[in-house]
Amino acid sequence: MNVIDHVRDMAAAGLHSNVRIMSSLLLTMSNNNPELFSPSQKYQLLVYHADAIFHDKEYRNAACKYSMALQQKKVLSKTSKVRTSTGGGASNIQSQVGHVGLREFYIVSLPSEIEVKYKIAECYTILKLDKDAIAVLDGIPSRQRTPKINMMLANLYRKAGQERSAVTSYKEVLRQCPLALDAIIGLLSLSVKGAEVASMTMDVIQSIPNLDWLSIWIKAYAFIHAGDNHRAINTICSLEKKSLLRDNVDLLVSLADVYFRAGDTKNSILKFEQAQMLDPYLIKGMDVYGYLMAREGHLEDVEVLGGRLFNISDQHAEPWVISGFYSKRYSRALYLGAKAIQLNSNSVQALLLKGAALRNMGRVQEAIIHFREAMRLAPCRLDCYEGLIDCYLASNGIREAMGMANNIYKTLGANAQTLTILATVCLEDPVTQEKAKTLLDKALAQRPDYTKAVVKKAELLSREQKYEEGIALLRNALANQSDCVLHRMLGDFLVAVSDYQEAMDQYSIALSLDPNDQKSLEGMQKMEKEESPTDATVELDGDDMEGSGEDGDLEGSDSEAAQWADQEQWFGMQ
């Protein structure tokens, strides 16, 4: 056993710091005396040294050392005879390997060149050098690509917009590993038909007991990526009810996310909480859960959630995003969103947070870039489109906003959410006010409890000074739910008809739901200053009746002391 064997054993034992020191010393010796180690031994030392550096998270340095190892491997390949180390002759090694040839022994025992290339690509990926990573992996012949190489390539291709190549690589992963479920999700997200994906797993489903649920699982995620939230919810619920899959955390998180996409906040929060109870260390999906809680005004709970997630791991995007939800400064939210994106460039919620911060700081064009990237990553999430539409409206781009809203309406169909988005844009143009009213009526006919539609309809009634009709609308909406914005808006309407006592009650309820609701506070303070009912004349303009706040003034300053006076400006309602 020579010194290289000892280094190899330390590497296998996970003694990375020891390997780094020893291999560094041995490489220096080799540089000063090239005859000290054979080309194969030097190659091994370079790989073990690079592995230790990689473990220390010095990825640029590790990539350099891995590249040096590959150069050394080329020298080794050109050598017709393998030089033995000074610790023993060829006869000793030959006696260890028996009938296996000397050259074959070294080739078998040497670190894999393919694995070294994968490590280089992994370094480049971490360093956000995706093009370099693709170039390295593309250099590996197709037949020599392992499943993890194809998986990395597929993810990189997808991120780079090379969808056809991504599909090919994902399919290759499934050919080798038919139960690679993340590869299945990758294919479905690239619009590959669920039936085609299911056919690639049929053999393994039929040959292994208790896998009959997999075809239903594939169908559920096919519905998710097709934007068919209703059928996705029904399919996941049918899976979740199966005794063998009951209380599966991943299914619950997926179900919560689909409820969120469908605009069902109550059930989404319920499922997220159920998943948390089953797994207290759950991180996946908690950024969406935190967003919903913040939008409901539960900022203290959001702060507790963020702290708990930081204790679990600060190397995920979720805790940073959640911290942004209760930050009181735009610049702070911008930093937290950027940090989250640095950790996970595919975090949709991080992109939305940063986009919202940029939009509210008046940097609309930069915000548009982030919302577009969020749309690319999650083409079936309506909040990505809403953010972009808000940016267009903020920069007086009504035509662009209308085009985007019409595109969503045609692509995803006439449901309560798409109808309300289109109505929101129509409300910005006096010419299309009647169209907005028709669209909102259709949305409320489908979902009478859809908060965004109720808010927009109330805004329209306020403009038309139809206060009694607005009161009836809001009372009906509040019959089956309790929402801060709806209570506050009802208070505003009641003030308009001089019902001050009930208006005060509604403002109080709104503040009990969200103590930070500035508009409810202002409403109460305004009433307290009124000397008599006859003096209480309240003009309900667009700003006072702003429900989602996302169409308001986005050019606010960003001084360090600036508070997020109105949470609605950040958390649109669904």
Average the pLDDT over 329-354 and give the result.
Answer: 94
pLDDT band at 530 (very low <50, low <70, confident <90, very high): low
Tokens 């038909």 sit on residue: 193
CA triplet 163, 165, 168: central angle to 5 degrees? 110
pLDDT in tens, 234-256: 999 999 887 789 999 999 999 99
Joined together, the tokens standing for residue 54 give 């990689």
Query: How far apart, in whole angstroms, are the C-alpha atoms of residue 424 and residue 389?
Result: 9
- Render pLDDT for 109-150 as a digit per residue (tens, 0 to 9): 688 999 999 999 999 999 999 999 999 999 999 999 999 999
Q: Which two tokens stand for residue 323?
A: 């911290």
pLDDT of 547 reads 39
pTM to 2 decimals?
Answer: 0.79
Asked if residue 102 has pLDDT above 70, the reply is: no
Q: Quick one: pLDDT at residue 515?
A: 81
Residue 224 has pLDDT above 70, yes or no: yes
Q: Is residue 307 part of a domain?
A: yes
DSSP string, 427-474: TTSGGGHHHHHHHHHHHHHH-TT-HHHHHHHHHHHHHTT-HHHHHHHH
Q: Which distant-in-sequence residues (6+ apart) come within 8 Å of 410 by Cβ? A: none
The reply to whether 309 falls in a domain is yes
pLDDT at 544 over 80: no
Distance (Å) of CA 298 to CA 326, 477, 547: 10, 21, 18
Q: pLDDT for 266-324, tens place per residue? A: 999 999 999 999 999 999 999 999 999 988 878 889 999 999 999 999 999 999 999 99
Mean pLDDT score, 193-207: 93
- Indicate the number of domains in the chain: 1
Q: What's the rounded Cα separation, in Å, for the pair 539 and 536?
A: 10
345 found inside a domain = yes
Taking the C-alpha atoms of residue 330 and residue 120, their distance in angstroms, rounded to an integer, is: 38
Q: Would residue 20 count as lying in a domain?
A: no
Residue range 488-509: mean pLDDT, rounded: 91
For residue 543, what pLDDT is reported?
Answer: 44
Q: Are 458 and 474 in contact (CB under 8 A)?
A: yes
Q: How many CB atoms lie within 10 A of CB 25?
A: 11
CATH number where 291 lies: 1.25.40.10
- Range(s) of the domain holding residue 301: 283-395
Is residue 298 a part of any domain in this protein?
yes
Is 324 domain-assigned?
Answer: yes
Q: What is the pLDDT of residues 468-496, one digit of tens each?
A: 999 999 999 998 888 889 999 999 999 99
Q: How confident is the model at residue 539 (pLDDT cuts 50, 70, 90)?
A: very low
Structure tokens at 364: 């609309």
Residue with the two structure tokens 């449901």: 415
Pair 538, 455: CB distance under 8 Å: no
**Over 83-98, what HEC string results?**
CCCCCCCHHHHHHHHC
How buried is residue 335: exposed, middle or buried, by Cβ count under 10 Å (0-12/13-18/19+)? middle
> Considering the domain boundaries, does residue 208 fall inside one?
no
Per-residue pLDDT at 314: 94
Question: How many Å apart are CA 20 and CA 66, to the nearest integer?
Answer: 14
Angle at 391 between CA 388 and CA 392, to 5 degrees: 90
335, part of any domain: yes
Distance (Å, whole) CA 506 – CA 391: 32
